[in-house]
Amino acid sequence: MTDRDWLLEYRRRLGEEGVSCSAPDPDTLAPVVRLSLAAQDWRRAAEMAAALGWRWAGIWGDPGPEDCLVRACLVHDDRRVLLETRVPWSEPVLDSHARCYPAADRMERHAQDLLGITFHDHPHGHRWTRHRAWREQDHPLAPDFPVHGHGPKRTPADTNYPFVRIQGSGVYEIPVGPVHAGIIEPGHFRFQAVGEEVLRLETRLGYVHKGIEKIAVGTEPAALARLAGRVSGDSTVVHAWAACQAMERATDHGVPARALHLRALLAERERIANHLGDIGAICNDVGFAFVHMQCARLREQWQRRNHELFGHRLLMDVVAPGGLACDLPADGIDTLRADHQVLRQDVEPIFAIVDDHPSLDDRLLGTGRLSREDARMLGCTGYVAKASGLSFDLRRDQPYPPYDRLRVTVPDLQEGDVASRVRVRMEEIHASLDLLDQLLDTLPPGEVASDLPRPAPDAQGIGLIEGWRGEIMTYVRFDQTGRIARFFPRDPSWFLWPALERLIHDNIVPDFPVCNKSVNGSYSGHDL
Amino acid sequence: MLRILRQIGRTGVLTEAPPATDDAALEAAGIELRRTLSSRFRGSFAIRHVDAGSCNGCELEIHALNNPYYDLERFGVHFVASPRHADGLLITGPVSRHMETALRRTWRAMPAPKIAISAGECACTGGMFGVSYASCGRADNVIPIDVRIPGCPPTPTRLLQGILAAIGDQR
């Protein structure tokens, strides 16, 4: 199949169904291909893509004075298409994709709460991101909605959310959160259980909604990169990179090769730090503190090196529009090379214990199983998908520089249980260490910073970055004056939370923490 | 078992001496007359942490407080699951409006004497989120704060200094 054959086939099938669509300026949002269609064909186009086995990867609206341009992204292997349609404010209704793509459920409701678009025939049309900070008739992303809002002076607790109820002899309910018993982000979980077995879990999120999409409007590119770095603090490098990549594509700006190499180096360092933390925390959640302490030790050493070489333990604000805020010091290459070798040796005895310790096997094997079919249907990416037989990774399958010149090994496991998600992380640490060495071997000389040119009015771009948690897709559009008009960072967590609800079925309540940790969705990245 | 013991032996003790809490650090954290109060906690200080809207960067560094390098528990400071057991409330993030009531209720549920510590730029000043339709801004706007630990996020050393200063530990 040549590059556009897959698209012609899709359009031919749509044509057979009587759906006409046009491809406006195919390169404006490259590498994504735009397909514009009428609002009444919105649902048919998604059904057709679902029948072809394409993955649903996000929806967002870009509000204008008369109408809202709604876009949904669909992924076929390594290619992606952006369906777009205009929804007039006079009748802001669009058919829902959630019947054929369960992945669309919550993101459509997010768009409904923030933009005021009603999704027709949605399986659960009620609010999602909105609690009680703004009224039902208000829509924060509407251009005339003031950034300070006009809600009540004090926001009362959320009530009357229509949780699904299960009734029957012996069924009981466990409400948990938003404040959890630990150092974690807030969210509400509603378990229905019989004895120890979980019949159903419903998550209620939105507690850390801080209006990121709204406050991004009117910011300068540098400020947007800093804001993107705080969409989810554990993914600061990759979110900042995705936002910068989108801005750089919008302005058709070539970033110095050295900066791209170092961005990848930072992203792989972030992946290793988070995977180390997660492996330790998963073991800790089944009472095996030894691995937790060992991994915490390695993570701390890793973060101290971040601070020494890049000035920040979590690498915040290092990625900037046009390149990087600081260069790797001259002696940094040797330091890092030595570090990589040390970490390889250090993880070996620890991972050997994780691999075959009987008490870990007992708790992790077969726990929290997510089938390949469920992972596909829910749109999962990252370690959750890789553990369930869906080995997709942007760095290998749709590579952006510098990964287009590197060998990227991607784990491919089938069982889909907690143990597999641990194993994916362990394999990815090794793969990232190899990538880090490759990056150092091929690190080009030169500058790491460049000035982002002044964007053309309405210039827009899409950033696509493989974060440690999965695929990040960020949309940016500039206004007439070179400031940001629309920013939508789509974190992989949108698709991980529904996966958690699915994989907890038939597990026991005490296994919830370890299942949750193995999925490790970001609350902040999801609530925005 | 032998492998585990061998690894523990190889790793050895990594815990570092606590950071000095000099006058500048005390001033930065806004400590005034905490020592009288701290005598009531009698060498044990239980913290309830509430993420009121953080990006989770602060949480990562708070977690690091329990790693072998900082080992917060050796100072008698530990994190507890219930506000009923807590002497101090550690708040991160700008207070999102959706967390406002949960934060107030957590604070109300804590028995006196109690202190509130805001950790991170957002909780101390509102940070880049400030006050908006979705955010109440700094934690002070919702409950009275005794000690501030700035930084985005504060390093574990800064957190340790701030917490030790808050309970008047001058070791």
| Minimal-distance CA residue of chain A relative to B62 | A183
Q: Where are the beta strands (DSSP E) in A89-182?
A: 93-95, 118-120, 171-176
Asked if residues A324 and A318 have their Cβ atoms less than 8 Å apart, the reply is yes
Interface of B with A in 117-136 (CB under 8 A): 128-136
Among B47, B128, B131, B133, the strongest candidate for a mutation testing the A interface, having the largest count of A CBs within 10 A, is: B133
Among A130, A131, A183, the strongest candidate for a mutation testing the B interface, having the largest count of B CBs within 10 A, is: A183
Looking at chain A, the whole-number percentage of residues with pLDDT higher than 90 is 87
pLDDT for residue B33 is more than 50: no
Look at A157 and B102 and tell me if their CB atoms are within 8 Å.
Answer: yes
**pLDDT one-digit tens code per residue, A7-50:** 888 888 888 988 888 887 777 888 899 999 999 999 999 999 99
Say how far apart CA A480 and CA B108 lie, in whole Å.
49
Shortest Cα distance, chain B CAs vs residue A467, angstroms: 16
Among A141, A180, A210, A226, the strongest candidate for a mutation testing the B interface, having the largest count of B CBs within 10 A, is: A210
B8 close contact with A: CB closer than 8 A: yes
Res A383: pLDDT = 96
pLDDT for residue B116 is more than 90: yes
- The stretch B27-36 carries a mean pLDDT of 48
Strand order in A171-176's β-sheet?
A171-176, A188-194, A197-204
B91 close contact with A: CB closer than 8 A: no
Region of A256 (left: φ > 0; alpha: ψ -120 to 50; beta: rest) is beta
Considering the domain boundaries, does residue B22 fall inside one?
no
pLDDT for residue B39 is more than 80: no
Partners of residue A471 on adjacent β-strands: A466
Which residues in chain B are contacts of A300 at CB distance < 8 A? 64, 67-69
Look at B153 and A157 and tell me if their CB atoms are within 8 Å.
Answer: no
| Minimal-distance CA residue of chain B relative to A352 | B3
pLDDT for residue B19 is more than 80: no
B35 close contact with A: CB closer than 8 A: no
**pLDDT one-digit tens code per residue, A79-112:** 899 999 999 999 999 999 999 999 999 999 999 9
Q: Which pair of tokens denotes residue A151?
A: 């809600």
Asked if residues A468 and A157 have their Cβ atoms less than 8 Å apart, the reply is no
Look at A209 and B134 and tell me if their CB atoms are within 8 Å.
Answer: yes
Neighbours of A159 (CB within 10 A): 7
Partners of residue A465 on adjacent β-strands: A472
Comparing CB atoms, the residue among B62, B69, B94 nearest residue A300 is: B69
What is the residue range of B115's domain?
A: 42-166
pLDDT for residue B37 is more than 50: no
Which residues in chain B are contacts of A217 at CB distance < 8 A? none
Shortest Cα distance, chain B CAs vs residue A225, angstroms: 12
Look at A207 and B98 and tell me if their CB atoms are within 8 Å.
Answer: yes
Q: In Å, what is the CA distance from A512 to each residue of A163, A284, A429?
A: 19, 13, 25
Q: Which fold has domain A5-120?
A: Beta Polymerase; domain 2 (3.30.460)
**pLDDT one-digit tens code per residue, A202-242:** 999 999 999 999 999 999 999 999 999 999 999 999 999 99
Considering the domain boundaries, does residue B2 fall inside one?
no
Q: Which pair of tokens denotes residue A322?
A: 């046009």
Comparing CB atoms, the residue among A277, A294, A352 nearest residue B11 is: A294
Q: Which pair of tokens denotes residue B51?
A: 């993420």
> Phi, psi (5° rounding) for residue A480?
-75, -20
**pLDDT one-digit tens code per residue, A102-149:** 999 999 999 999 999 999 999 998 999 999 999 999 999 998 999 998
Asked if residues A209 and B98 have their Cβ atoms less than 8 Å apart, the reply is yes
DSSP states of A186-228: --EEEEEEETTEEEEEEEE--TT---HHHHTTT--HHHHHHHH
Considering the domain boundaries, does residue B94 fall inside one?
yes
CATH number of the domain enclosing B63: 3.40.50.12280
Res B29: pLDDT = 53
**For chain B, how many residues are written?**
171
Confidence of residue B171 (pLDDT cuts 50, 70, 90): very low
pLDDT for residue B26 is more than 60: no
Residue type present at position B93 = G
Res B44: pLDDT = 81
Asked if residues A100 and A119 have their Cβ atoms less than 8 Å apart, the reply is no
- The stretch B3-18 carries a mean pLDDT of 87
Shortest Cα distance, chain A CAs vs residue B152, angstroms: 8
Which residues in chain A are contacts of B50 at CB distance < 8 A? 179, 186
Helix, coil or strand: residue A509: helix
Q: Name the residue among A493, A78, A494, A25 with its Cα closest to residue A250.
A: A25
Shortest Cα distance, chain B CAs vs residue A186, angstroms: 6
Residue type present at position A92 = P
**pLDDT one-digit tens code per residue, A265-316:** 999 999 999 999 999 999 999 999 999 999 999 999 999 999 999 999 999 9
Average pLDDT along chain A: 94
pLDDT for residue A59 is more than 60: yes
Look at B135 and A211 and tell me if their CB atoms are within 8 Å.
Answer: yes
- The stretch B41-62 carries a mean pLDDT of 91
3-state secondary structure B117-162: EEECHHHHHCCCCCECCCEECCHHHCCCCCEEECCCCCCHHHHHHH
Which residues in chain B are contacts of A351 at CB distance < 8 A? none
**pLDDT one-digit tens code per residue, A312-335:** 999 999 999 999 999 999 899 999
Q: What residue segments make up the domains of chain A, in order of their start?
A: 5-120, 212-527
Look at A232 and B55 and tell me if their CB atoms are within 8 Å.
Answer: yes
User: How many structural domains are present in chain B?
Assistant: 1
Shortest Cα distance, chain A CAs vs residue B83, angstroms: 9
Domain A212-527 grouped into CATH 1.10.645.10 = yes
pLDDT for residue B30 is more than 50: no
Q: Which pair of tokens denotes residue B41?
A: 């906690």
Look at B56 and A299 and tell me if their CB atoms are within 8 Å.
Answer: no
Res A322: pLDDT = 95
**pLDDT one-digit tens code per residue, A247-261:** 999 999 999 999 999
Considering the domain boundaries, does residue B37 fall inside one?
no
| Minimal-distance CA residue of chain A relative to B90 | A183
Res A483: pLDDT = 96
Neighbours of A172 (CB within 10 A): 11
**pLDDT one-digit tens code per residue, A444-491:** 999 999 999 999 999 999 999 999 999 999 999 999 999 999 999 999
**pLDDT one-digit tens code per residue, B63-75:** 999 999 988 888 8
Considering the domain boundaries, does residue B31 fall inside one?
no
Partners of residue A192 on adjacent β-strands: A173, A200
Considering the domain boundaries, does residue B26 fall inside one?
no
Say how far apart CA A166 and CA A26 lie, in whole Å.
49
Comparing CB atoms, the residue among A146, A182, A209 nearest residue B96 is: A209
pLDDT for residue B169 is more than 60: no
Look at B57 and A206 and tell me if their CB atoms are within 8 Å.
Answer: no
Considering the domain boundaries, does residue B141 fall inside one?
yes
Considering the domain boundaries, does residue B84 fall inside one?
yes
pLDDT for residue B36 is more than 50: no
Shortest Cα distance, chain A CAs vs residue B27, angstroms: 24
